[in-house]
Copies of this chain bind each other. A is one copy, B any other.
Amino acid sequence: MSSEVITSRAEDYSRWYTDVVQRADLADYAPVRGCMIIKPYGYALWENIQQALDSRFKATGHQNAYFPLFIPESFLNKEKEHVEGFSPELAVVTIGGGEELQERLVVRPTSETIIGYSMAKWIQSYRDLPLLLNQWANVVRWEMRTRLFLRTMEFLWQEGHTAHATHDEAEEETLRMLGVYYDVYFNEAAIPGIKGRKSNQEKFAGALRSYSIEAMMGDKRALQACTSHNLGQNFAKAFEIQYTDENNALQHAWTTSWGLSTRMVGAVIMTHGDDQGLRLPPRIAPIQVVIVPIGKNDDERTQVLPIANALFDELKANGVRVKLDTRFELSPGFKYNDWEMRGVPIRVEIGPKDVQNGTVAVARRDVPGKAGKQFVPREGLLPFLKQLLEDIHGSLLRQATEFRDSHIHEVADDYGTFCEILKEGWAYTWFCGSATCEAKVKEDNQAVSRNFPLDQERGKGKCIVCGTECDERALFAKAY
């Protein structure tokens, strides 16, 4: 029953999150520890994110394919850093068809190895490059502390895998796909992410360079729902992905990989949600407009239903994702709370008085209470609602941007101030990127470097920890 009161964010942010996920019917715990069941409403949100990504992948020349769930254990051992990074997290199949397996099979934690194996078979000449692949798949990482969408043993994602002739082309691809993610965050999910490069300590196991998009959640922690990696020639050498160049010389290819997962759903919840529940960005909301006809008795219902039905048909025919709520056995207040909990951007109420006046009541989810409600003529409602959906997108994006910017503090050189800032927000400061300095920050603050933002003025400064001269600033924050 989603109209029950949920924990407030101020009281306990973590419980608020779990309450919202469950009361809004996004997901549920599974009988296997650490796994989740994605319920229809949560899955519809994920499908809209998928669609937004998939069309962009195709527009940038990528093709979908599918590689096996099971990877021979020996494959993982071929790339040293990769196996070190993933070994502790593996689920292993040892029995198949009732018999002990000769070579144990790893359930894919990610697919660089099995795709590297295939690329080596498929690529012969420079004419076969670039090879631009993507796969929609489930992956498994054995996690001890899990939370719905944010960290689950099995999760859904897409993983792009590409091969190129040169380092620069691979780097360009890595950044292009980071840009695609940024676009989806910004223009679909109304999340103002920050693009940047991960430190050596935080990069992907086996990558040359990793990039991420960091977003600030409502409790000011950072969340990374996607990464893009320039894998250099590490996997090309481990799996012998080679091509003959235009001079007939044998070369190793340069590969990339990039992924965005169901974690993104968590980012949407924690960027926009409030104490009444979800607030969904209109462009990916499974339901953009809910129509609630109101009638105390059959007579009133006979008046309002034809108007409600006609509006439903009109919106549906014009590509608006619309729902008609005819649960007359429930009170209007209960239903309003219910749809607010589920974060539907616009609620249209139609009562007998509205029918007489030729109006409807329109309530926008992003503006709470009476301020967000207005009476609008039934005539011309479609363009009005379409514009309002756009306005709500802009409003959510603006609110998230203001919240983010008011909690990122630049600090020049005082480590004490830096630590103070990290108690409550994000710090932006000069950082040498060394493992020692990173470890000290982590120990002192339970925070890490999130990334070196790409959009920063070049200059020189002193590392906030060790004072060494360096030429880049990093963002630091506590993180999910």
> Do B98 and A68 have beta carbons less than 8 Å apart?
no
Tell which of B36, B39, B65 touches A68, judged by Cβ atoms closer than 8 Å: B36
A392 at the interface (CB under 8 A from B): no
Assembly stoichiometry (copies): 2
- Against B, the Cβ 8 Å flags (1 = close, 0 = not) of A78-114 are 0000000001111111111110000011010000001
Q: Is the CB of A28 within 8 A of B95?
A: no
For residue A66, CB closer than 8 A to chain B, the reply is: yes
Q: Which of A40-48, A270-278, A425-433 contacts B (4 or more CB under 8 A)?
A: A40-48
Q: Does A8 contact B (CB under 8 A)?
A: no
What residues on B are CB-neighbors of A133 within 8 Å? 40
| Segment of A69-77, A251-259, A305-313, A333-341 engaged in the interface with chain B | A69-77
Interface residue? A53 (CB, 8 A):
no
**Which B residue's beta carbon lies closest to that of A100?**
B94
A30, A64, A72, most chain B CB atoms within 10 A: A30
Contact B92 A91, beta carbon cutoff 8 Å? no
**Set B30, B66, B98, B105: member contacting A87, Cβ < 8 A:** B98
Q: How distant is the Cα of A385 from the Cα of B365 in the complex, in angstroms? A: 48
In the bound complex, do residue A32 and residue B71 qualify as a contact, i.e. CB atoms below 8 Å apart? yes
Asked if A37 is at the interface of the complex by the 8 Å CB criterion, the answer is yes
Distance between A165 CB and nearest chain B CB, rounded to angstroms: 18
| A118 / chain B contacts, CB cutoff of 8 Å | 28, 37
B142 touches A32 (CB 8 A): no
The reply to whether the CB of A369 lies closer than 8 angstroms to some CB of chain B is no
**A144 an interface residue at 8 Å Cβ cutoff?**
yes
Q: How far is the CB of A51 from chain B (nearest CB, A)?
A: 11
> Is A156 part of the contact surface with B, judged by Cβ < 8 Å?
yes
Contact A94 B96 (CB under 8 A): no
The A211-231 residues at the B interface (CB cut-off 8 A) are none
Write out, one digit per residue, whether chain A residues 137-161 have a CB within 8 A of any chain B CB (1) or not (0): 1101010100000000110100000
In the complex, what residue of chain B is closest to A329 when comparing beta carbons? Answer: B127
Which of B91, B121, B137, B156 has a CB less than 8 Å from the CB of A95?
B91
1/0 per residue, CB under 8 A from B, across A55-71: the answer is 00000000111111111
Q: Judging by beta carbons under 8 Å apart, are B90 and A64 in contact?
A: no
A and B contact pairs by CB, cutoff 8 A, 17 listed: A30-B67, A30-B114, A31-B72, A31-B114, A37-B67, A37-B118, A40-B64, A40-B65, A43-B64, A46-B66, A47-B64, A89-B97, A90-B98, A91-B96, A92-B95, A96-B142, A97-B142
A117 CB within 8 Å of chain B: yes
The answer to the question of A35 belonging to the interface, with a C-beta cut-off of 8 Å to chain B, is: yes
Interface residues of A (CB under 8 A from B): 28, 30-32, 35-40, 43-44, 46-47, 63-72, 75, 87-98, 104-105, 107, 114, 117-118, 121, 133, 137-138, 140, 142, 144, 153-154, 156
Q: In whole Å, how far is A186's beta carbon from the nearest beta carbon of chain B?
A: 26
Tell me if B105 and A68 are in contact (CB < 8 A): no
Inter-chain contact B93/A97, CB cutoff 8 Å: no
| A87–B99 alpha-carbon span in the complex (Å) | 12
Contacts of A46 in B (CB 8 A): 66
Contact A96 B92 (CB under 8 A): yes
Partner of A88 from the list B68, B72, B98, B137 (CB cut-off 8 Å) is B98
Flag if A97 contacts B105 (CB, 8 Å): no
Residue of B nearest to A113 (CB): B31
| B97 adjacent to A90 (CB under 8 Å) | yes
Q: Is the CB of B69 within 8 A of A138?
A: yes
B38 near A65 with CB under 8 A, answer yes
Name 18 extra pairs, CB < 8 A, besides A28-B118, A44-B64, A94-B95.
A31-B75, A32-B71, A32-B105, A37-B67, A38-B66, A43-B63, A44-B63, A46-B66, A66-B156, A68-B154, A87-B98, A88-B98, A90-B95, A90-B98, A91-B95, A94-B94, A96-B142, A107-B107
Q: Does A35 lie within 8 Å of B70, measured CB to CB?
A: yes
- Distance between Cα atoms of A105 and B36 in the complex (Å): 15
Given contact pairs A28-B118, A89-B97, A114-B30, A66 touches B37 in the complex (Cβ within 8 A): yes
- Most chain B Cβ neighbours within 10 Å, of A32, A87, A156: A32
- The residue on B at minimum CB distance from A74 is B31
Q: Closest Cβ of chain B: how far from A94's Cβ, in Å?
A: 5
Q: Whole-angstrom distance between the alpha carbons of A121 and B31 in the complex?
A: 11
Q: How far is the CA of A195 from the CA of B16 in the complex (A)?
A: 50
Q: Which residues from chain B contact A153 at a C-beta distance below 8 Å?
A: 70
Contacts known (A92-B95, A98-B88); A70 close to B142, Cβ less than 8 A: no
CA distance A208 to B28 in the complex (A): 30
Contacts of A68 in B (CB 8 A): 30, 32, 35-37, 154
